[in-house]
Chains A and B, each alone.
Chain A
Amino acid sequence: MENNIRHYKIQNRVRKQIEKECMDKIESLKSRGDYIDELDPFLNALFFSIHPDKLQEKTSRPVVGLFCIQAPFELFDAFKLQPFKLCGGSYEAQHLSTSKLPALACPIIKSTMGILNSDDHYRNVFKTIIIPTTCDWVVKFAELAEYNIPELHFMELPHIKENEKGEQRWLLELLELKRFLGKIMGIRLKRKDLLNSVNRYLAAWKYFNKLIELRRDNNISALLFTIIVNAFPFMEIENWTDTLKAVIKKYEMYKEKIKHRAIFLAGAPIVFPNLKMLDLIEEAGMNVTADDICSSERIFPGGACYDDTSEHGLMKALSDRYHKACICPTYADNTRRVNGIFNTLEENGINGVVYHVLKGCHPYDIESISVEKKIKDRGYRFIKIETDYVDEDRQNILTRLEAFNNTL
Chain B
Amino acid sequence: MPAPDADKFCIHEMDYIWIEFKKHVKEKDGSLTQILRIRKSKGLKNRTGLSKFYNIKAVYNINREKEFYRAPIQYRNNEAEIKITAGKTSFFKVYVFVITETINYIAETSFYVFGSSKNPIHRDILRTELDFLPNLKIIYPEYNYWPQTGQEFKFLLGSDKVNFTVNDAKVIDKGNIETLKLSPDGKFSYIPPSDKLLDLQGISAFKGNILYFRMKSNNKITKLTYTLLLHRSRFANLRLKHGIALFVGTIIFFTFSVLIARKRSPVII
Residues of A within 8 A of B (CB): 168, 171-172, 175, 312
Chain A residues with Cβ under 8 A from B266's Cβ? 175, 312
Q: How many residues from B make CB contacts under 8 Å with A?
A: 3
Chain B residues touching A, majority SS? loop
CA distance in complex: A172, B268 (Å): 11
CB distance from B156 to the nearest CB of A (A): 65
Chain A residues with Cβ under 8 A from B268's Cβ? 168
Chain A residues touching B, majority SS? helix
CA distance in complex: A172, B265 (Å): 11
CB distance from B262 to the nearest CB of A (A): 9
Q: List the 6 closest A-B pairs by CB distance, nearest first.
A: A168-B267, A171-B267, A168-B268, A172-B267, A312-B266, A175-B266
CB distance from A160 to the nearest CB of B (A): 17
Interface residues of B in 236-269 (CB under 8 A from A): 266-268
**Can you give 6 A-B contacts (C-beta < 8 A)?**
A168-B267, A168-B268, A171-B267, A172-B267, A175-B266, A312-B266
Chain B residues with Cβ under 8 A from A168's Cβ? 267-268
Chain A residues with Cβ under 8 A from B267's Cβ? 168, 171-172
CA distance in complex: A168, B269 (Å): 12
Chain B residues with Cβ under 8 A from A312's Cβ? 266
CB distance from A50 to the nearest CB of B (A): 40
CA distance in complex: A312, B267 (Å): 8
CA distance in complex: A158, B31 (Å): 69
CA distance in complex: A175, B267 (Å): 10
CB distance from A193 to the nearest CB of B (A): 19
Interface residues of B in 75-92 (CB under 8 A from A): none
CA distance in complex: A57, B57 (Å): 112
CA distance in complex: A262, B239 (Å): 76
Chain B residues with Cβ under 8 A from A175's Cβ? 266
CA distance in complex: A175, B268 (Å): 14
Chain B residues with Cβ under 8 A from A172's Cβ? 267
CA distance in complex: A326, B267 (Å): 22
CA distance in complex: A312, B263 (Å): 13
Closest B residue, CB atoms, query A169: B267
Chain B residues with Cβ under 8 A from A171's Cβ? 267
CB distance from A189 to the nearest CB of B (A): 14
Closest B residue, CB atoms, query A175: B266
CB distance from B204 to the nearest CB of A (A): 47
Closest A residue, CB atoms, query B268: A168
Closest A residue, CB atoms, query B265: A168
Closest B residue, CB atoms, query A316: B267
CA distance in complex: A252, B266 (Å): 47
CA distance in complex: A172, B267 (Å): 8
CB distance from A153 to the nearest CB of B (A): 20
CA distance in complex: A168, B268 (Å): 9
CB distance from A22 to the nearest CB of B (A): 44
Interface residues of B in 146-180 (CB under 8 A from A): none
CB distance from B268 to the nearest CB of A (A): 7
CA distance in complex: A299, B131 (Å): 100
